[in-house]
Amino acid sequence: MVAAPLPASSFIGLAAHPIRWGLLTELAQSDRHVSELTHLLGQPQALVSYHLGRLRDGGLVDSRRSAHDGRASYYRLDLQRCGDALSATGSSLHPGLTLRLEPPAAPQRGRVHRTRVLFACTGNGARSQMAEALLQHRAGDRVDVVSGGSHPKPIHPNAVRALAERGIDIGDRQSKPLTRFDGQHFDHIVTLCDRVREACPEFSGRPQAIHWSIADPSRAAGGNRATYPIFRDLASELDTRISFLTALIDHPPQEATRHVRPRHAHH
């Protein structure tokens, strides 16, 4: 079910508060749990939880239980919904104001540095394989992207099928261990599994650490036919997230992004 559009005045009221704006800014970079957000914002947990609740009520933020520790929850920002609300703000104030989020200018070709991205999860059989292929499809030769798993397992046939519907063939790919990339440099490391995030190996060069808390679709109940819609939804979610990641790669922010290591807490 698609959520109703957020009125411009409601979005402004939510985003204008300094703490809520800080939460939106941090969650735009990575899924996080409350202990990280309290650390990053320097605010008490009760206050951060209150403002997260306001953002959840507005449909800008949602959460899911960590697969690594069921006592903790990861919060994620709906960037698409934020973008839609921002686009509507100007015209709501006056028809002459065309506040539209235009696509940024295309990146210059012939760049010397190709951005290196590693997607990591447990099995490298669905989530990270699909993310790797989707980023390759979107960014082409602007990126050098790989994926790996802490405990590799065969690629799930529904992952192959879900991407085939989008014209992307991963049928001949193989899962790979994360240890294969020891000693390599990456600009961005994206963990898609809560367990792997807590145990992801260190890489040189201080890569930007991004976490997307996504449940393992292969662990869903039912056979291949029953679980296929989950893989189709996963492909859609990953494609949306990767569209924003591609923009970040092509147009990095001026300020350096903080590299936050996971903090164990139960919220």
Which residues are marked as active site?
121, 193, 200
What are the helix (H) ranges across 177-223? 194-199
Integer Cα distance of 87 and 98 in angstroms: 8
Q: What angle do CA 103, 249, 61 make, to 5 degrees?
A: 75
Chain centroid to Cα 126, Å, comes to: 15
Chain centroid to Cα 209, Å, comes to: 11
Task: Say if strands 208-211 and 115-121 run parallel, antiparallel, or are unpaired.
Answer: unpaired
Backbone dihedral angles phi then psi of residue 146, each to the nearest 5 degrees: -135, 170
Spatial contact of 194 and 70, defined as CB atoms under 8 Å apart: no
Tell me the CB-side half-sphere exposure of residue 60, using CA atoms within 13 A. Answer: 27
Tokens 């809560």 -> residue: 194
- Identify the helix (H) or strand (E) that includes residue 45: helix 45-57
